Structure 1
Amino acid sequence: MGDKVEEVLQALEDALKFWSIQLSSADGELKKNVPASTVKDPLEELVKIVKLIKAHTTKVGIIYEPSKLEKSGEASITTVSDLSKSFVLFISALAQVSSENISHLFYDEIKSMAHSLVLSATQFSEELKALYNNVVSEKSEKKTESDNASEGDPRLVSVGKIWNLCDDFTKLIEGGKLKVLEKKTKMHLSLVEDGLDEFAEWAENPEDMDDEDPFGLEDDFSDEEEEDEDDEDGRNPPVPDDDDDKEDKKQVSKDREELVRYSKLWLQKFKLVKLLFLSINKSLSTLTSGQSIDEIFQTEGIIVREIDTLIVELMLNQTLDDVVEKHAFAVDVACFKIVAILRDTNKKSEGKVKWCASWEAKYNEFSDDMYK
């Protein structure tokens, strides 16, 4: 009996470690290295199997209670064997899932959580093996009751982790690819909003913030500036001509006005970007293709990065140059790409198509005002 228990525990641990390696690899889908099932709906099957894993984990946890383990008989083998079989079914169904169908975004979330579940199960199997060896060698009898009470039971901790991961996995699958995209879109939206308040304050009057060092760069250069001043050796700077000085100030004032106008128009466009982000999930149905989901997610990331860079360029350099134009154009292109995806996805919905057209018209209106 003892050899069989050790054998089944070791087999579970070895299998879990192998699957963990496959799940952690970045070389694509699991089916390349693991036989895939052929069920009608692998996602639905995964939910069923996860509930099975949770139930079998509970049974193993009960059977492997140290004071009862020696009297458990065949149950110490069959319960672990059943848990192993449920993980075989889990990995097999997971290998059937195609990222092309459900989106790479959703697939990566599923794969990541599956990996966490397998890792927790691996830890559980190692604890079971150690616990069994401890009982067999009668080490547990040498401990006092107070020792046992104070140390706690790591087996129970692992069972709890597996339960929680099974519940989270079920929620993930049942929420679907749109729920995952919604979560990512909210994250991207919060990143867009992060710097807007400060940018709006700056756009009202850039002069007031000229000395405030909004990006914390002043400290890095203060020492260098002091050294430069020391190197002047008392020399007086040339006095500018009054007419030239007036002309320079006039040009600076004109440039500043144009910068403020341009920045305020971007604030209006940023509001439309936020509206677009908030409307994405409302505009998509469960029939939306995985490719569209991935394109939207990737394009959101581009918008966030380009907006962040654009704001930094405007506030730091305060010049409407080619660099600003480059990032501004990138934001425009990315936003229109998302609108195009939404329009194509909802081409049979007149109301949603009209919304896309209305959004584009308003966005273009602000863009036209920028270059008058």
Structure 2
Amino acid sequence: MTERQDMAEELGPLLGSFRERFAYGTREELAAISSSTQLRDSTPLQELAKLAKLIRAQTTKVGILSQPARRAGNEATCAKELRALEQSVFYLLSLLPSFHKSGHYTSYFNKQLDEEILALLRCLEKFYDEIREEEENLVSVGKIWTGCDELLALAERGNLGLLNEHLSASAKLVQDTILELQDWLAEPTLEEQDPFGLEDSFDEASDAESAAIDVADKAPSSQMIEYVQTLERRVKLVKLLLKSFQKSAKVDNPHTKAAAETLEKVHTAHQAVVEQIDELISSVFMLGADFDSQDADLLDGVNTLHSTMISMCKLVKKLNNNDSKKNAWVESWEAQWNKL
């Protein structure tokens, strides 16, 4: 039997055993991969980019060869190209310890990388099933292309680029909050005290009296309005810091252990800020007619937000190597923040 015939006969078992060779369905299973690739004159990100392009091209070849109208007579070539594709996927998986265990890549980067690889493996498994069943696989090919494009984009973004992407998403959430505060300030009202009408059966007041009471109940105090105005200015400054970081953060090498550690802290801080703003605003409006700027929850919320923002400023300065010129905008921001 010739080598070509061997390859042709191998196609069926090869297509039916993808899951056995690539038995990875969770991030924990990816993290357990121990075999790694020693890189020379290259980096994990560079190799990730190369493999994303290679897997995309190899998938295209297999997709063409495996089309039902072309498959007859091309089984051996198809099996050969599948083997080459699998070698690239094995190499991709062997890169993971270089990301997971080196300390040079942030947890948010590794999380995104793992999710993209798991999605790619699911698409490849579906692709193999369609070839085995002699079905059209153009949709699966397209999904694999998309997965490879996502891996390539991730390799190009790295720690800093991905952080900036997340900061942009947080800035949009903060902007939504600003708009909500502005809407409220344009027409200040209090939340309904009895949204389910539980007191209706006990209310003996006339309709006119009830209307007068409702108007009084829904009018927020001047103290509350002033507080929300200050809160709006505070939230605007949060957005300014997030956007300014994206524009000004310059890190010579964002993939050193020190840089990765600092960027990780910035990522944790910006996520916390969004949550803290939401909690503080909720606390304000839950007080309603009982609003008091000295309420314990409000004081705690403001102090927590303040601590997080000052911590972010320190991290930005650290990334800028405490360069006074690079950090001038940070100090200007701090001065505005401390006036509130």
TM-score by length of 1: 0.76
Q: How far apart, CA to CA, are the structure 2 residues paired with 1:179 and 1:219?
A: 48
Alignment of 1:120-131 (within 5 A): 120-131=123-134
Q: Is the 8 A contact 2:58 2:84 kept in 1?
A: yes
1:51-82 CA-to-partner distances (Å, cap 9, x unmatched) read 22112211211221223323125213211111
1:221 maps to amino acid: F
The CA deviation at 1:348 is 4.5
Q: Is the 8 A contact 2:67 2:136 kept in 1?
A: no
Structure 1, unaligned runs of 5 or more: 132-152, 235-248, 367-372
Q: Which residue of 259, 267, 285 maps to 2:250? A: 285
Q: Which residue of 143, 164, 167 maps to 1:161? A: 143
Q: How far apart, CA to CA, are the structure 2 residues paired with 1:73 and 1:363?
A: 68
CA RMSD of aligned residues (A): 2.6
The CA deviation at 1:299 is 1.1
The CA deviation at 1:185 is 1.0
Show the counterpart of 2:335. 361
Show the counterpart of 1:110. 113
| Identity level (%) | 24
Q: Is the 8 A contact 1:57 1:159 kept in 2?
A: yes
Show the counterpart of 1:246. none
Residue 257 of structure 1 pairs with residue 222 of structure 2: yes
Show the counterpart of 1:311. 281
Residue 6 of structure 1 pairs with residue 12 of structure 2: yes
Residue 179 of structure 1 pairs with residue 179 of structure 2: no
Q: How far apart, CA to CA, are the structure 1 residues paired with 2:199 and 2:176?
A: 31
**2:326 alignment partner, SS class:** helix
Residue 77 of structure 1 pairs with residue 51 of structure 2: no
> In the superposition, relative to structure 1, how do residues 31 and 312 fare at CA in structure 2: closer, same or farther (>3 Å)?
closer
Structure 2, unaligned runs of 5 or more: 207-215
Show the counterpart of 2:196. 221
The number of aligned residues is: 311
- Report which of the two has the higher share of helix: 1
Greater shift in the superposed pair: 311-320 or 84-93: 311-320
The CA deviation at 1:190 is 1.6
> In the superposition, relative to structure 1, how do residues 218 and 195 fare at CA in structure 2: closer, same or farther (>3 Å)?
farther
Show the counterpart of 2:48. 46
Q: Is the 8 A contact 1:123 1:158 kept in 2?
A: yes
1:82-106 CA-to-partner distances (Å, cap 9, x unmatched) read 1111111111123322363121111
2:111 maps to amino acid: D
The CA deviation at 1:110 is 1.3
Show the counterpart of 2:35. 35
The CA deviation at 1:108 is 1.0
Q: How far apart, CA to CA, are the structure 2 residues paired with 1:326 and 1:359?
A: 22
Q: Is the 8 A contact 1:113 1:169 kept in 2?
A: yes
Q: Is the 8 A contact 1:306 1:330 kept in 2?
A: yes
Q: How far apart, CA to CA, are the structure 1 residues paired with 2:309 and 2:127?
A: 47
Q: How far apart, CA to CA, are the structure 1 residues paired with 2:154 and 2:33?
A: 24
